[in-house]
Amino acid sequence: MKAFAYLVALVASSAVGVLASDSAEGVKIDVTKKVECERKTQKGDKIQVHYRGTLASNGEKFDASYDRGSPFAFSLGGGQVIKGWDVGLLDMCIGEKRTLTIAPEFGYGDRGIGPIPAKSTLIFETELMGIDGVPKPEPVPEQDASEEKTGEEKPKDEL
């Protein structure tokens, strides 16, 4: 029930609203698993994201969809979540992982919500699980370290 309350707070935070531009100045994006794709997330997409949220101040976890076994679904860019998510999850491929470091003005600002103190910088480990209407890509087989960039195996006598 606690986790649900945090999800509601994540969604409800847009009702109070934090004024910020569409720039990513308040969001640091680190791509931790890069994925190539033809169709990236866009404003208006309904997406499914797994995440783990921690406080930058002490590393304490305050919420995680992984713990519930179900990704969080919402419409991107519509103000349904904190500004840092609407900015930080744009142009993302299915299967990509990002760590978002979100400044307070792109998170909950001066408000404290549950275990999140006011003026907190938040860190979210995110993984894009799906975009409604976009097929999931086929897994790409990992290349053996002995293979060249062309994908051809080296002859055994060259190893």
- Specify the DSSP class assigned to residue 69: T
Is 91 annotated in the active site? no
Q: What is the pTM of this model?
A: 0.75
Size of the chain, expressed as the number of residues it contains: 159
Active site residue 66: no
* 154-158: long-range pairs with CB below 8 Å, 24+: none
pLDDT tens for 19-31 read 333 346 899 999 9
Q: Which domains does the chain have, with CATH numbers?
A: 2-17+25-137 (3.10.50.40)
143 and 151 Cβ atoms separated by less than 8 Å: yes
Span 110-128, pLDDT tens digits = 999 999 999 999 999 999 9
pLDDT in tens, 91-101: 999 999 999 99
Q: Is 6 a catalytic residue?
A: no
Minimal CA–CA distance to 7: which of 76, 62, 87, 56? 62
Question: Is residue 108 flagged as an active site residue?
Answer: yes
Q: Which residues pair with 124 in a beta bridge?
A: 53, 100
Which one of 94, 102, 108, 113 is the catalytic residue? 108
Q: Which of 29, 82, 113, 116 is catalytic?
A: 82
